[in-house]
Amino acid sequence: MRDFELLVAELANDASAIEPAPHPFLLSLKLIGIAGVYLTIALALSGVRSDWVRAFGQPWFVAEIVALLMIFITASLSAALLSFPDLHQKRGLVFAPLWVFALFMIVVSLAWIADDPPAALPEHSFQCTSCIILVALLPTGWTFYTLRKLASTHHQWAGSVALLSAFSVGALWLRLQELNDSIVHVVEWHYLPILAFCLVGLWMGRWLLKW
């Protein structure tokens, strides 16, 4: 009995303290804050579109930016909640990006209808997708790194939402930087690729977030 008590005491002394996981709201605020600083720096380096005053005078452009920002915020919150096995008992908030994305699609559809006659297509095409990917690389890295340190049991969904959050940052940057009014171009080369990368996130989550 004495030896058993000594063994328990030794194991207790050898045990390292475990840092408690942050609240998902605080975790999402951290992700949003870092991304906000990153987006500000990116726009400072690249510059904003030269017609930004005129652009923000257009209701559909403002609605698009606001909806895109809401996608980023809700996706960041959803990713934080998905890093907990029990979703922190907030399952309804986990699916918030789906509802916001549906709202975003309505906004984009109405902007498409209002674009009559259609604005001229820019000369470039896939370059926009490439720029969004490059800008989204850092947010993707730190989001996956943050989620990896926690205990998600919803690996695929967490990976998909993490990429939605990261690529929303890239889409926001390009929409505020690129001098372009063609909603057709924006849908084809900005937003449809984001959906494709959300599918890639399913695989990345299974590979990187499984523990």
Count of all residues that appear for the chain in the document: 211
Q: Does any domain span residue 35?
A: yes
pLDDT, tens only, 101-152: 999 999 999 999 998 888 888 888 889 999 999 999 999 999 999 998 887 8
Range of the domain at 33: 21-208
Give residue 187's pLDDT. Answer: 94
Give residue 149's pLDDT. Answer: 87
Give residue 124's pLDDT. Answer: 81
Q: Does any domain span residue 191?
A: yes
pLDDT-based confidence at residue 10 (cuts at 50, 70, 90): low
More confident residue, 209 or 19: 209
Q: Does any domain span residue 7?
A: no
Q: Does any domain span residue 1?
A: no
Q: Does any domain span residue 2?
A: no
* DSSP code string of 28-81: HHHHHHHHHHHHHHHHHHH---TTHHHHTTSHHHHHHHHHHHHHHHHHHHHHHH
The total number of structural domains that make up the chain = 1
Is pLDDT of 79 > 70? yes
Q: What is the model's pTM?
A: 0.88
Q: Does any domain span residue 9?
A: no
Quick one: what percent of the chain has pLDDT higher than 70? 90
What is the C-alpha to C-alpha distance for residues 61 and 181, in angstroms, rounded to an integer? 9
Q: Does any domain span residue 10?
A: no
More confident residue, 187 or 5: 187
Mean pLDDT for the chain? 89
pLDDT, tens only, 169-185: 999 999 999 999 899 99
Q: What is the DSSP letter of 15?
A: P
Write a three-state SS string for 75-108: HHHHHHHHCCCCHHHCHHHHCHHHHHHHHHHHHH
Q: Does any domain span residue 172?
A: yes
